[in-house]
Structure 1
Amino acid sequence: MRVAIAGAGAVGRSVAAELIENGHQVLLIDKAPVSIKPERVPDAEWLLADCCELSSLSEARLEACDVVIAATGDDKANLVVSLLAKTEFGVPRTVGRVNHPDNEWLFTEAWGVDVNVSTPRIMSALVEEAVAVGDIVRLFTFRQGNANLVELTLPDDSPYVGTPTGLIPFPENCALVTILRDGQVYTPDGEQPIESGDELLFVASAAVEADLERLLAPSRHPSE
């Protein structure tokens, strides 16, 4: 897979190194000469150019990329890169870094962003995931599918403690994908029961998140 990363700062370089380690081809683009440090990620391609300029993206051959990651420290630049990548070069997948939480609402398909990554949201989700029991914690949003990756820690008083997953009437537009228990990952196969304290990971539409809370933790989320 060929990936172009706009922004060769610490974030862009870290992502590049990880992708290269996983066997992908990576191009790092930055307009600041001080950010061009090939010795930091020697197996990457490097381009000194303004990623918001159409000519620069043409030089980078974005049309040959499978993914473009807009990882600069400027939200405006990340939006421009994503929009140009999607509309002018037909890049199949774009990922936009959100630096300021007030701008997160802009990072949608309307601006060419398939997936947005907001550091403040991720940090708050990790904190909630660590302490919340019986509440839905949204970990990730799939823009193209209008669905979220969510987590719920099963409380002691859930009516479904000990119940096989195949017998639980989960809402429509909701799928249990993983059960985390005692440091182990379990695949729900219909016969696998859920237990108190299990971390349940679902892919679910936003519309059914409240229904899921009421189903699995009714004492904490009584019906209106």
Structure 2
Amino acid sequence: MRVAIAGAGAVGRSIARELIGNGHEVLLIDKNPGSIKPDRVPDAEWLLADSCELSSLEEARLQHCDVVIAATGDDKANLVTSLLAKTEFGVPRTVGRVNHPNNEWLFTEAWGVDVNVSTPRIMSSLVEEAVTVGDLVRLFTFRKGRANLVEMTLPDDSPYVGKPSGLVPFPENCALVTIIRDGQVYTPDAEQPIEAGDELLLVAPADVEDELERLLAPEEHKD
């Protein structure tokens, strides 16, 4: 897979190293000469250019990329880069970094963003996930599928403690993906009982999240 990353700062370089380590081709683009540091990621291609300029993206041959990641520290630049990648070059997948939480609403398909990654939202979700029991915490939104990755730590008084996961009447279009117990990851088995304190990771559309909370933790979410 060929990936172009706009923004060769610490975030962009870290993403590049990870992708290269997984066997992908990576091009790092930045308009700041001080950010062009090939020695930091020697296996990547580097391009000194403005990713908001159409001519720069033509030079980068964006039409041959499978994914474009807009990872600069400027939300406006990330939006423009994503929009150009999607509309002018037909890039199949775009990922946009959200720096300021007030701008998150802009990072949608209308601006060419398939997936937005908001650091403030992720951090707040991780904090909630670490301290809450019986509340559903949204960890990630799948923009294409209109669904969310959500987590709940099952409370002691859940009516499904000790019952096989296959007997839990999950809402329509909701799926149990993983159970985390005592630091171990378990693939859901319809015959395996779920226990108090289990972290349940589920994929669910937003409109069933409240129903899911009331199902798994009714005492915490009485009407």
TM-score normalised according to structure 2 size? 0.99
CA drift at 1:173? 1.6
Report the alpha carbon displacement of residue 87 of structure 1 after superposing the two structures with TM.
0.6
One-letter code aligned to 2:72: T
After superposition, residues 1-224 of structure 1 pair within 5 angstroms as 1-222=1-222, 224=223
SS at match of 1:125: helix
Q: Classify the secondary structure of the residue corresponding to 1:196.
A: coil
Give the counterpart letter for 1:204 in structure 2: A
> 2:46 corresponds to which letter in structure 1?
W
Q: CA–CA distance in 2 between the matches of 1:26 and 1:10? A: 15
Q: Which amino acid aligns with 2:38?
A: P
Q: Aligned partners of 1:72, 1:129: CA distance in 2, in Å? A: 28
Look up the SS of the partner of 2:89 in the other structure.
coil
* Residues 135-194 of structure 1: per-residue CA shift (max 9 Å, x gap): 000000000000000000000000000110111100112100000001111111211111
Distance 1:16 1:78 in 2: 17
Gaps of 5+ in 2: none
One-letter amino acid matched to 2:18: E
**TM-score, normalised via structure 1 length:** 0.99
Find the residue that maps to 1:88 and give its secondary structure. helix
Mind listing any 5+ residue stretches in structure 1 that lack a counterpart? none
Q: Where has structure 1 moved over 3 Å in runs of 4 or more? A: none
Distance 1:183 1:189 in 2: 18
Q: Secondary structure at the match of 1:38?
A: coil
Secondary structure at the aligned position of 1:121 is classed as helix
Q: For 1:103-129, what per-residue CA distance to the aligned partner results, in whole angstroms no more than 9, with x for missing partners? A: 000000110001000000010000000
Partners of 1:112 and 1:214 in 2: how far apart? 36
Q: How many angstroms does 1:64 deviate by?
A: 0.4
Code of the residue aligned with 2:146 in structure 1: it is: N
> How well do the aligned residues superpose, as a CA RMSD in angstroms?
0.5
- Identical aligned pairs, as a percentage? 85
Tell me the distance in 2 between the aligned counterparts of 1:148 and 1:108. Answer: 15
Counterpart of 1:216 in structure 2: which amino acid?
A: L
2: CA distance, partners of 1:76 / 1:141: 21
What code does the residue aligned with 2:67 have? V
Aligned equivalents of 2:56 and 2:90: distance in 1?
A: 16
Counterpart of 1:64, as a letter, is: H
Distance 1:191 1:52 in 2: 53
What is the CA–CA distance in structure 1 between the aligned matches of 2:89 and 2:193, rounded to whole Å?
48
SS for the counterpart of 2:18 is helix
